[in-house]
Amino acid sequence: MNTDRKKQLEKFIGVLGLPSFHNLLILDQALTHSSYANENKAKHGYYNERLEFLGDAILDLVVGEYLFLQYPHMPEGELSKARASVVSEAPLAAVCAKFGMGEYILLGKGESASGGRMRASILADAFEAVVGALYIDSSYQEAQKFILHQLKDYLALVASGDYGKDYKTLFQEFVQRDGEQHISYRLCREEGPDHDKTFYMQVVVNGLVLGEGSGKSKKGAEQHAAHEALKQLHAL
């Protein structure tokens, strides 16, 4: 690992308020996308998909444990729904965007040029991989502390009862609280091959674009756009 990358990773640790990593290589792996590894096989043979797999399992456990203890009378079906809402792609990507995770991810040239640093799926996967790296490098307790702190706003939605609603519903209720408004979702563009497309959607209110999001489906991109608009309106 060169000096510049080491400094970048140390800066990232500070931005997130993480404890110092004993092994920076595992954090580097968590922030390496497969597109970069494929382009640099000779000098960079690892990427974050295995850590993402581990981090996904840890996220489910930490958030599930929190909800189980915090809401002792909530039935299993509601617990599952609440957990799914907290650990879904849009919240994870929004948290990453807040502290600029995209600028620390190693991406292939094509992926970077096509806006990969702000792509919800890439950011959410990187968040999971960082959780996995933190668990391996430190402990379950440190990973748990990190997850609960970063997702505290979304865990709070469970207490308010809003977790059962999707972001499109929340957005519609927010903008129409003072009367009927015309809300529409507009496809901006599509990127990638047919089997792995990314869709970009805008949410438009009375002709004004209030948010843009991406996703692997049009519905997912609409959800992300609504979520971004709610953040811009300080409704989350």
Catalytic residues: 56, 128
Pick the closest to residue 236 from 141, 154, 147, 137 (CA basis): 154
Pick the closest to residue 29 from 46, 12, 10, 8 (CA basis): 46
Per-residue DSSP letter, 73: T
Q: How far apart are CA 83 and CA 222, in angstroms?
A: 21
CB atoms within 10 A of CB 68: 13
Classify the phi-psi angles of 206: left when phi > 0, otherwise alpha if psi is within -120 to 50, otherwise beta.
left
